[in-house]
Every structure is written in structure tokens, then in C-alpha cells.
Structure 1
Amino acid sequence: MTRVVVVDDQTLVRQGIRALLEVADIEVVGEADDGRAALDVITATRPDVVLLDLRMPRHDGIWTLQRLRELGVEIPVLVLTTFNDDTLVLAALRAGARGYLLKDVTLEQLTAAVRTLADGGTLIAPSITDRLLRAIRSGPPPTGTDAQPVRDLTERELEVLRLMAEGYSNREIATALFLAEGTVKNHVSAILLKLNARDRTNAVLRALHEGILH
């Protein structure tokens, strides 16, 4: 069973998400109402996925993402918020979020996103993908690239990268391309190296910015 922590400053929202996820056989192992409390709960429970709101009093979602990265905690974070704002989307992804959904999603979409992240994939709400693409192309390279040039990807690496951008996990990519999962992991490592990216999300952002993905 997939294990999650829910971070949101509204008690009713946390309770509602817990009830919905448990119907779908996803276990909520902890809750927190701000970033500081979230760090304690996440490090204590080590969930498969963190559901994180962005706008919270005291320590918000971006602060939480930054602290998790500084601590070396690599648990995938799915931002779940009401804020459909380009600046926040980019800030969250650059801070390390692996997914971004709005709270108007269906239960099926939410559970699918949780499982996608738990399997190593990434997911961005389709409603903001086009705007995100335009913002990335018109702005500076994603944080962490240090403006270093990208190296040419092979055709197979491009195939893997496209599926990464669609939120596929390594296992799903292996199935789609008729490859061993270990081979996919090697391709992902090569992609990160060639794009000078620290993780899968950053690789997709860099590829979009450089026009490698359309």
C-alpha cells in the first residue's frame, strides 16, 4: 500500500484528503499544518509521497521543498494547491517538487498522480502545461543548470525523455519501449548527466527550455 503524508494548514482539507485516499487504498501515515511540522512528520514516517499545499502560515510549501532538498530527503513531493499561478508552479518545480496538481482534480486523478510519483514518475496538471512551457522558454534556464550547454541525446534517450515528461515511471518506460528496467535507469542517468540536471523534473524543465521537447 502506498503511504503518504498530507501537509495543509486547513484541518478540514486534510481530513477530506485522508478520507478520500483511504477509500482508494492509499494510507495516510501523517499530517502537518505547516512546513516546520511537515519536516518532523516526513522524517519520522518516511512516506512514499508527500502531498503539499503551497500557501501556509509560518513556513510555506516552497520553504518546505527547499529544506527537504537541503536535508537530502528524496521523497517525491506532489504539490496540491488552489493556486494556478505560473510563478508558483515554476518555483515549486525548481525547488524540487515532482508533481503539481490543483485541488479541483478528481479522486481518480489524485490517486493516479500519487502512484505515478511513488513509482518514480513526474506529473504536472495538463491545464497548466502549456503556460509552463511558454514561461520556461521565455525565462532563464532552470535553477541548477549553471547555463552549461547540453550534450546531444541519442534517439533512445530522447524516447525515454519524452516518456519522463509525460510522467512515466522507469517501470512504465521499460514496458513501453520493451527494455529492461535497469537499462531505462541507465538511460535516465545519462540524460541527467547530458542535461546537467539534478533530477528528473529538472531534466524535463531544461529540455523544455532548450527546445529539446516540444
Structure 2
Amino acid sequence: MQRKIRVGVVDDHPLYRDGVIFALEAEPDMEIVGQGETASDAYQLAHEQSPDVLVLDMNMPGGGINAVAKIAARASPTKILMLTVVDDQDDVRSALRKGARGYLLKGTSSSELVNAIRMVSKGQSYVSPSFAMQLIMSRNTEKNDPVEPNDRFPELSDREEQVLMLILRGLSNRMIGDELGLTEKTVKGYVTTIMERLNVRNRVEAAMLAAERIADRRA
């Protein structure tokens, strides 16, 4: 029997928290191992229960970002997925850099939340596609402005740089493979190498770094 994904939920709004828990309990591959309302609850839950994924409200008492930083500081194996009402880009960047593995708006569907938890539990990262593009393109990089290969990535080979530019455009591994005539598995290998060489933890951070370097070059 496949091991269930152990999930904790921390949110100071009982009705919303109960709704999230109800949706997750309906999934056969998930189980709720704890819940709470504050940053202190989040830390205690991570420490005592070590859930695979901890779903945290960004604006709970004590601060969601503070909870992320504290949990990450003790090298907890728990992966954190943030939920928020407001899509504040600075908060998102801060949460991701401090150790969060995913970010969703509270208006998201239960199916997207479930999918995000599954991805995060496997060590992948998840940010809603539309919001990810806002993050990526916000650093003076316009959506319709073509991104050309440049000399800002000496760590990467030409092919790796091609892949990074397509990540910057928001393409999935499969779409990148179709674009470059590569298998999805090969693309996944390139993405892993890119993250290692750029010293980032996920493709969102890789894209953000790419956008920043390109913006700096254009400035």
C-alpha cells in the first residue's frame, strides 16, 4: 500500500482551515496529522509531527515568513506550501528564499491545492503559473520583450542557457522538450544541472535570477 502524504494545516481562520482540511481528507493519498493557528503552532507541528507538507497562511499571527525561516533553520524535512489572500511579490520572494517550496492564492481551487501538495511532497516546487509569470517578469522584463541568449550565464552551457530562457517564459519540461526536440527526461536533467550551477533550489528561483540578470544588463 502506498504511503500517504502527511499534511499539516496552519491558518488562523477556522472556517478556511476547516475547508482545506475537509478537501484534503477526501483525497485517498493524504492524511492530516495536525493543525494550528499561529507561527508557534506551525513550528511545533513541524517539530513534533514532521509532516511531509505544511500548508501555512502567510498572514497568521506570528507571521508566515517567520515560521518558514524558523522551520528551515532547524533543517526540518517538512516542505512548506504558503497560502495568502494578497499576491505581494516581495512577500513571495522572501518566503521562497527562506525555504518555502510553493505559493498559492487562497482563491485557488481545491484541485490545484491538492496538485501543489503532491508536487511539493515529491521535492518539486509549485507557484500558480499566472503568478509565477508575474514574479519572473516583474524585474523590468516585459512579457512581450524577447529574451535572447546573453553573456550573463557563464556557469551554463549554450544548451542549458536555452533551457533557462524557456523556463523564464514559463514553459513546462514537456513544452521545453517540444520546443528543442528533446525528451522530457532529458529536459529534466538539464533543469537539475541548471539549478545546481546557479545555486538555486527550484525553477521559479532560477527564472527569477535569470530575469534579474537580464534586467541588470539592460539597465
Q: TM-score range by the shorter chain?
A: 0.7 to 0.9
State the Cα distance separating 1:49 from its structure 2 match: 1.0
Counterpart of 2:179 in structure 1 is none
User: Please, what is the CA RMSD of the aligned residues?
Assistant: 3.1
Q: Which of 3, 24, 27 lines up with 2:31 in the alignment?
A: 27
The one-character-per-residue Cα deviations of 1:77-109 (angstroms, maximum 9, x if unpaired) are 111111122222222222221111111111111
Counterpart of 2:144 in structure 1 is none
State the Cα distance separating 1:19 from its structure 2 match: 0.7
> Does the alignment pair 1:114 with 2:117?
yes
TM-score for the superposition, normalised by structure 2: 0.73
Q: Distance in 1 between matches of 2:192 and 2:130?
A: 29
Identity, % of aligned positions: 29
Equivalent pair of 2:46/2:71 in contact (CA under 8 Å): no
Equivalent pair of 1:46/1:75 in contact (CA under 8 Å): yes
Q: Which of 62, 65, 69 lines up with 2:72 in the alignment?
A: 69
Equivalent pair of 2:52/2:77 in contact (CA under 8 Å): no
Equivalent pair of 2:167/2:207 in contact (CA under 8 Å): no
Q: Which of 53, 57, 79 lines up with 1:53 in the alignment?
A: 57
Equivalent pair of 1:4/1:30 in contact (CA under 8 Å): yes
Q: Which of 122, 132, 135 lines up with 2:135 in the alignment?
A: 132
Q: Distance in 2 between matches of 1:68 and 1:193?
A: 23
* SS across alignment from 2:81: strand
The one-character-per-residue Cα deviations of 1:17-71 (angstroms, maximum 9, x if unpaired) are 11111112221111121111211111211111111111112x1101011112211
Equivalent pair of 2:33/2:51 in contact (CA under 8 Å): yes
Q: Distance in 1 between matches of 2:125 and 2:42?
A: 21
Unaligned runs of 5+ residues in structure 1 are 139-147, 169-175
* Residues 192 and 178 (structure 1), Cα distance of their counterparts in 2 relative to 1, 3 Å cut: closer
State the Cα distance separating 1:166 from its structure 2 match: 6.0
* SS across alignment from 1:210: helix
Counterpart of 2:93 in structure 1 is 90
TM-score for the superposition, normalised by structure 1: 0.75
* Residues 31 and 69 (structure 1), Cα distance of their counterparts in 2 relative to 1, 3 Å cut: same
